Amino acid sequence: MPDCLRHETLDAVWPVQAILDLFALPFTDLLLQAQTVHRQHHPANAVQQSSLLSIKTGACPEDCAYCPQSSRYATAVEAAPLMPLPQVLAAAKQAQAAGAQRFCMGAAWRSPTEKQLDGVIEHVQAVKSLGLETCVTLGMLKPGQAERLKAAGLDYYNHNLDTAPEYYGEIIRTRTYDDRLQTLQRVRDAGLKVCCGGIVGLGESREIRAGLIAALASLAPYPESVPINQLVKVPGTPLADTPDLDPLEFVRTIAVTRIVMPKTVVRLSAGRESMHDSTQALCFMAGANSIFHGEALLTTANPKAEADARLFQRLGLVAMPAPARPPLN
């Protein structure tokens, strides 16, 4: 078993059946337990805000069944090369002015070359100089690449497991689960923080959702940031006609994630644009304490900052204080 799947001795071991037992709790009991756990480890009404920018879009050779950036599917996404630095910096400054504490950059690659990584490192260094936390998602990393990103000042690397190991082959065939675990191990070994979550609403069963949470919780240590994405159904992708997930089942997924990984920051990610405000409110009650804000997430829509500000005001939520920056040498 890879090192990153060994259970951490200080954290509970969560078999799939134990997670299913949480899912099966009466809804209000589950939310009460999740909120109780949340308040033991996090400020009660504070939400961390991140912004996500696609810095290289489309033409990805992978076959992820949910992704409009795959070159294998006929979607409305147009391929674009690595975004010039001034354009990235302008987007980062705009996000910071709107309240973002972390700026995340995504590039649709299977695995970056060293030359491609050079360009990303330039972006990371420039965004970091603004005082923002930095995160990138670039696909699979080769030996030494995580160390280069760490040296550039990167804070987080995002690499999602997407779904449970036993369902993975139904969604992706061009890379294996072990490929993902290997990149996560390289990220950990380099001393970077891990952002790793998954997607629900892929047509999976509750048991598969429990298996995803179990896999995330068994990473040693479990991720500092866990984005829970609801499938955004894009015409042209194989999952475009997948039935909708019950909103209350999505809330249950947030609550179980919070209980199983009490210290992590649980992020409402893709799919928020289609959620009713009441669903989002229940997610915050269930322990979600991070969102992406801005008008787009890579290539899909996201609630506008003004709508989020209004929702925060109605719910009495505040921005999570930014982490203290280490002193300059």
In whole angstroms, give the CA distance from residue 297 to residue 303: 10
Two tokens, residue 123: 């972006």
**Is 283 considered catalytic here?**
no
Catalytically annotated residue among 64, 102, 209, 283: 64
The answer for residues whose C-beta is within 8 angstroms of residue 295's C-beta and 6 or more apart is: 301, 302, 304, 305
CA 103 to chain centre: 13
CB 260 within 8 A of CB 213: yes
Tokens standing for residue 125: 């260094």
Is 195 catalytic? The answer is: yes
- Annotated catalytic residue, options 135, 180, 252, 272: 135
Find the catalytic residue in 102, 175, 180, 195: 195
Asked if 85 and 120 touch (Cβ cutoff 8 Å), the reply is no
Helix (H, G, I), strand (E, B) or coil at 73: coil
From the candidates 104, 175, 188, 258, give the one annotated as an active-site residue.
104
Distance CA 67, CA 25 (A): 33
Catalytic residue (one of 180, 258, 267, 272): 267
Catalytic residue among 67, 196, 209, 252: 67
Q: Buried b / exposed e across 71-95, counting CB within 10 Å, b at 16+?
A: ebbebebeeeebbeeeebbebbeeb
Q: Is 104 among the residues known to form the active site?
A: yes
Residue 196 annotated among the catalytic residues of the structure:
no
Judge whether 67 counts as a catalytic residue.
yes
Residues labelled as active-site residues: 60, 64, 67, 104, 135, 195, 267
